[in-house]
Structure 1
Amino acid sequence: MRQRRAKLYRKMLHQYSLQFGFREPYQLLLDDTFSLALSRYKISDPLHQFSNILLTKKVKPLITQCCMQALYTLGKEHQSTVDMAKAWERRMCNHREAIDPQECIKQCVGDNNKHRYIVASEQGELRRDLRLKVAGLPMMHFTQAVMVLEPMSPLTRSKIEENEENKLSLPASETGLLKNAPKIDVNIIGASSDAADVQGETGEKGNEGDIAKQGGETLSTRRRKRKAPNPLSVRKSKNPRLTMEEKLKREQELKKQKQRAAARARMEASKISNPSSSNTTTTTTNNTENRAAGETRRRKPSESRTCKS
């Protein structure tokens, strides 16, 4: 089964379980026409096919005595279909004499499908009648040799919407109590109980200014306030949090860097203002280097004499 179809079936069965109380194992009620279709399409393991459609291995196939009697009347040509149907559980329909399988299925399902059956049939008229009369009834049939689960009927969808509205609405016992309750203006925040009592007696709304003077707050003033940003949506700071000792060390390093930069600036300023002093320093250094070189030259001959002796 394709992934998209399996997803639709899963959602549909989930709605049936929530709204109409379907539970595993699912009770699959088959008629004679569906049994013949299984034999015609050579489905040797129908339970495996049912499990693929209903997305669970907990499936209990059922067949009524009237449908079995209809299969018996077909003769020995369909003996394989009869043998396959005998392996399924027999649903007692309480009919002493066999009746039409369509009527038997309708009577077993009833008006509201209280036994939570899933009907599998190849008769279009039967499925059409059940779709129009019974809400919360899943149905299966074959489409070009493919077993499919029918979509929800309009009656079933309307029943689901009605159930949802009933969950949200108040019960009749509580709606009678609300008629005598005092009316309060929902646009006023922090309104006093006295204003609510007056409003309930007179049936008129109080003045917003008077209620605001008493300590109340209107919605308009409340919306003007600035709200803090969501802490989960704010980007985290890149700088890590430092301890007090680390902060002091960083401040001392910054202070030393500023002092060094100021000293360099002073040196450069002094060089620019007194260029002669810089020249004299260079000449003195050159003179000292020349003197040192002359002394080394004078010492070399004396060293050579000592070696000869």
Structure 2
Amino acid sequence: MKVKKQKRHRKTVRFFTACFGFRQPYKVICDGTFVHHLIENGITPADQALSNTLAAPVKLFTTKCVIEELKRLGQSQSEALEAAHKLTVARCDHDKRKSADVCIMDIIGEKNSEHFFVATQDVDLRKKLQEVPGVPLIFGLRNALFLEPPSAFQRQFVKASEEGRSHMTESEYKMLKKRAKNLLETEQTRDSSNENEDLEDQKLEMQTVERKHNTTKGLGVKDRPQFKRKKAKGPNPLSCKKKKSSHNQSRVSGKGSEEGNDTVRSRSRKRKRSRVGKNAVQTES
């Protein structure tokens, strides 16, 4: 049960810190009923008990009206009065002393700009403060302290404020419209100035071209390109093989044909000796 209570308290504290800007150390304003409850149930030291409840360091406050009310209650509230004197006194600006609940309501105001946690045992005061956005409430039950979850009104207020922030107000819309109009005017003036500059540049270029043409025409000089184009070069003649001439080839072929004819002639002119004549000479001898 204790773990669930701590989780619920941390969730409530995160709600108020995220939606209403509460920051550590948290400021807790206490009335006489809450101080009396702490003393009756032995919840001391009070700052340590409240810091355990909120899981963060705290500063305890009260008001002059609360102290005056405890004084009027007499001897029965003497211990509570001594404990209240030890707390920091918040400024209430009341010339005539008022009741504690009225004084705390005046300090909280409509939006709780000082970001106070209110610790009280007064049920009517807690109901009134539930209708004020951004007011977390603390109360005691026997020897335990509890932090009330945000009321339905406070949740609805946060939801409506988030929806309102997502839409533009009339003043923001007028400001945006005016800014867009100024941007359009500046762009138009810039475009017109750029066009004028372009026209002036074109005129200057035309004038320079005409002057150059007139000077070259008067001097009789033809316009020539400043740089000659590089032509493709042929192969290196030293790295190329020499071509064989057709005259040498014909001469070589002619010699070859003559040699072939001589061999044919030599072979055809060779005389064959007949063996018959040789045998006849041998017989005669």
Which range, TM-score by smaller chain? Answer: 0.5 to 0.7
TM normalised by structure 1 equals 0.53
User: Aligned in 2, Cα 1:173/1:68: closer, same or farther, shift over 3 Å?
Assistant: closer
TM superposition shift of 1:39: 1.1
**Deviation of 1:171 (Å):** 5.0
Partner of 1:72: 71
Tell me how far 1:109 sits from its aligned partner: 0.6
AA aligned to 2:150 is: M
Could you give the per-residue CA deviations for residues 31-71 of structure 1, whole angstroms, max 9, x where no partner exists?
A: 11111111111222111110011111x21110000100111
Aligned residue-pair number: 177
Using the alignment, how far apart are the partners of 2:62 and 2:168 within structure 1? 43
Amino acid at match of 1:148: F
Q: 1:177 to 1:22 in 2, by over 3 A?
A: closer
Query: Is the contact made by 2:38 and 2:46 (CA closer than 8 Å) also made in structure 1?
Result: yes
Letter in 1 for 2:157: K
Residue equivalent to 1:90: 89
Residues 1:5 and 2:8 aligned together: no
Cα separation, 1, equivalents of 2:172 and 2:58: 43
User: Of 133, 136, 139, which aligns to 2:137?
Assistant: 139
Superimposed CA distance per residue, residues 83-124 of structure 1 (whole angstroms, 9 cap, x where no aligned partner) = 211111011211122111111111111111111111111111
In structure 2, the partner of 1:125 is 124
Give the share of equivalent positions with the same residue, in percent. Answer: 29
Find the counterpart in structure 1 of residue 233 from structure 2: none
Secondary structure class of the residue paired with 1:27: strand
**Which residue pairs with 1:21 in the alignment?**
21
- Asked whether 1:54 is paired with 2:45, we answer no
Q: Secondary structure at the match of 2:113?
A: coil
Instruction: State the structure with more CA Rg.
Output: 2
Offset at residue 147 of structure 1 (A): 1.0
Conserved? CA contact 2:136–2:148, under 8 Å = yes
User: Structure 1 counterpart of 2:145, which letter?
Assistant: M
Letter in 1 for 2:26: Y
Deviation at 1:177? 11
SS of the equivalent of 2:95 reads coil
Look up the match of 1:163.
Answer: 161
Name the TM-score, length of structure 2 as normaliser.
Answer: 0.57
What's 1:113 paired with? Answer: 112
C-alpha displacement at 1:77, in angstroms? 3.6
Query: Is 2:7 aligned against 1:41?
Result: no
Supply the distance in 2 between the matched residues of 1:38 and 1:168 (Cα, whole angstroms). 44
Quickly say closer, same or farther: Cα 1:178–1:116, change in 2 above 3 A: closer
Aligned equivalents of 2:171, 2:65: Cα separation in 1: 47
Query: What is the rounded CA distance, in whole Å, between the counterparts of 1:34 and 1:17 in structure 2?
Result: 24
86 and 2 in structure 1: CA distance in 2 versus 1, 3 angstrom threshold: same
* 8 Å contact kept, 2:41–2:143: yes
Aligned residue for 1:62, secondary structure, equals: strand
Shift of residue 151 of structure 1? 0.9
The farther-off stretch of 100-109 and 137-146 is: 137-146
Q: What's the CA shift string for 1:180-235, capped at 9, x where partnerless?
A: xxxxxxxxxxxxxxxxxxxxxxxxxxxxxxxxxxxxxxxxxxxxxxxxxxxxxxxx
**Counterpart code for 1:31:** D
Deviations 1:137-176 (A, max 9, x none): 1001122432100110111101111233234345556778
Report if aligned partners of 2:69, 2:100 keep a CA contact under 8 Å in 1: yes
Q: Is the 8 A contact 2:42 2:143 kept in 1?
A: no
Pairwise CA RMSD of aligned residues?
2.3
Query: In 2, distance between residues paired with 1:91 and 1:174?
Result: 38
* One-letter amino acid of the counterpart of residue 37, structure 1: H
Q: 1:33 to 1:176 in 2, by over 3 A?
A: same
- Give the secondary-structure state (helix, strand or coil) at the position aligned to 2:130: helix
- The 3 A distance-change label for structure 1 pair 173 and 83 is closer
Partner of 2:80: 81
Supply the AA of the counterpart residue of 2:70: L
Q: Distance in 2 between matches of 1:174 and 1:137?
A: 30
- What secondary structure sits across from 1:118 in the alignment? strand
In 2, the alpha carbon distance for the partners of 1:34 and 1:115 equals 20
Gaps of 5+ in 2: 178-285
Q: Which residue in the other structure is 1:100 paired with? A: 99
